[in-house]
């Protein structure tokens, strides 16, 4: 088995249901006796969580797009170095709530930073590691706003509807460019239906017979 075969990521715009579906998938894996670790991005280590707080802090309103990008990548590099490699070496499943696709979608397509440069930088930060499979949960920006209504928005969520539309389109382009890795899912469906679909795909990918 490839060393990254048990490395999976979930992607999508804010409120697309990543965290919910990751939790449901983990429950199923644990039930059949599998070991699984989940890491959110940015975050997942003491240092990466410090970077997360800084990135989401609304008082850092004048953080430049380039500095923001480098901080996301710094957080990711720390997480890979401290946790990911070790877990994969042990043969455990590792699920990331966001990875490089988020940087390309939010900082590249969202902000307009050069995608070619972002890919080179991401490659450096991640030692060229890629998830084996990525579940991209696609919802409309309108649905994202409904699902998040009532929540306080952080520095990135404040960027508004137009920005989020560019990010969503970015994810769709990335999915088209990577059809073998990325499984695009219409995430407007109900929780259970989505969870069943993801589990059936998962079982197919890893040849799990239950």
| Single residue of 83, 87, 147, 196 touching ligand Z5A by CB under 6 A | 147
CB of 4 to ligand Z5A, least distance (A): 18
Q: Which of residues 84-143 bind ligand Z5A (CB under 6 A)?
A: 98, 102-103, 106-107
| Single residue of 12, 108, 131, 170 touching ligand Z5A by CB under 6 A | 12
Q: Which of residues 20-39 bind ligand Z5A (CB under 6 A)?
A: 20
DSSP character at residue 190: -
CB atoms inside a 10 Å sphere around CB 64: 9
Q: How far apart are CA 170 and CA 97, in angstroms?
A: 17
Q: Write the CB contacts of 83 (distance below 8 Å, at least 6 apart in sequence).
A: 37, 39, 44, 45, 94
Q: How far apart are CA 177 and CA 159, in angstroms?
A: 26
CB of 103 to ligand Z5A, least distance (A): 4
Residue 16 near ligand Z5A by CB under 6 A: yes
| Single residue of 9, 11, 18, 28 touching ligand Z5A by CB under 6 A | 18
CB of 5 to ligand Z5A, least distance (A): 22
Residue 44 near ligand Z5A by CB under 6 A: no
Residue 42 near ligand Z5A by CB under 6 A: yes
Q: How far apart are CA 126 and CA 136, in angstroms?
A: 20
Q: How far apart are CA 132 and CA 121, in angstroms?
A: 20
Residue 77 near ligand Z5A by CB under 6 A: no
Using alpha carbons only, what angle is made at residue 28 by residues 14 and 205, rounded to the nearest 5 degrees? 80
| Single residue of 7, 39, 72, 136 touching ligand Z5A by CB under 6 A | 72
Q: How far apart are CA 84 and CA 38, in angstroms?
A: 10
Which three-class secondary structure state does DSSP give residue 45? coil
CA 24 to chain centroid, in Å, comes to: 16
Given the complex with ligand Z5A, which of 136 and 202 has the nearer CB atom?
136
Interacting residues with ligand Z5A (CB under 6 A): 12, 14-20, 40-42, 72, 98, 102-103, 106-107, 147, 156-157, 187, 190-191, 194
């Amino acid at each position: 088995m490839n060393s990254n075969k048990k490395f999976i990521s979930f992607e999508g715009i804010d409120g697309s249901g990543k965290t919910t579906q990751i939790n449901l998938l983990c429950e199923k894996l644990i039930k059949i006796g599998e070991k699984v670790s989940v890491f959110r991005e940015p975050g997942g280590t003491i240092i990466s969580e410090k970077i997360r707080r800084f990135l989401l802090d609304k008082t850092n309103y004048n953080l430049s797009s380039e500095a923001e990008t480098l901080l996301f990548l710094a957080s990711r590099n720390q997480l890979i170095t401290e946790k990911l490699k070790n877990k994969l070496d042990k043969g455990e499943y590792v699920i990331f709530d966001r990875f490089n696709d988020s940087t390309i979608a939010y900082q590249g397509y969202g902000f307009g930073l050069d995608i070619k440069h972002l890919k080179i930088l991401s490659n450096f930060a991640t030692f060229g590691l890629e998830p084996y499979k990525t579940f991209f949960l696609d919802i409309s920006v309108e649905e994202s706003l409904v699902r998040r209504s009532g929540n306080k928005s952080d520095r990135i969520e404040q960027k508004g509807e137009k920005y989020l539309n560019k990010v969503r389109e970015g994810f769709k382009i990335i999915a088209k460019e990577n059809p073998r890795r990325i499984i695009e899912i219409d995430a407007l469906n109900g929780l259970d239906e989505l969870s069943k679909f993801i589990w059936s795909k998962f079982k197919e990918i890893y040849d799990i017979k239950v």
